[in-house]
Amino acid sequence: MQKPLKFATSNEHKFSEVSAILGDYRISVVMARLELREIQADVLEEIAAEKAREACRRLDAPAMVEDTGLFIDGLGGFPGPYSAYVFRTLGNRGVLRLLEGAPDRGATFRSVFAYCSPRGSPQCFPSAVAGAIAPECRGEGWGYDPIFIAEGASGRTYGELGHDKNRLSHRRMALENLARWIHNSGNSR
């Protein structure tokens, strides 16, 4: 039996989703509660790779991290890699106010998981889901879930999808790639 994969995060919601998705691939995950330094960069892969290096060093064990960003077309890709900060300062209602009257509500939710072992370099697993920003908050959920409508979600926000979100989310797509890599590489964690 392989050891559980250490996922460095302090976000219970994210841990729950990751654990459920990787469980489908018979990969168990444990939460490693770490506050990681986030470098200022415009590319999610750079941010995730650096956080994975730090988590691996601090845990002295293989670790994975995730960095996500909501890239809104009508705002020139904003908030992008600064999504967590924008959510903490403006929230969903603030983002909706920024989009008032905007003709383009297209958006892409991106996720990058980075895995790093003590003797290796970070491996990044990016994904993206295209969609749009709803005109108002709808449904439950955390983060941007109540305002993001993924393509293929029949007009429903992630927040309205409940657990069905895990079937088509940006997070699932990145984790599927990570799971395949773990199984194919024989990575023993």
Give the residue numbers marked as catalytic.
Answer: 67
What type of residue sits at position 155?
Answer: G
Angle at 28 between CA 140 and CA 84, to 5 degrees: 40
Q: Which among 154, 181, 155, 176 has a CA at the least distance from the CA of 166?
A: 176
| Phi then psi dihedrals of residue 90, to 5 deg | -105, -35
In whole angstroms, give the CA distance from residue 32 to residue 51. Answer: 13
Q: Is 121 helix (H, G, I), strand (E, B) or coil?
A: coil
Distance between CA 100 and CA 90 in Å, rounded? Answer: 14
DSSP secondary structure string, 36-99?
------S-HHHHHHHHHHHHHHHHTS-EEEEEEEEEEGGGTT-EETTHHHHHHHTHHHHHHHHT
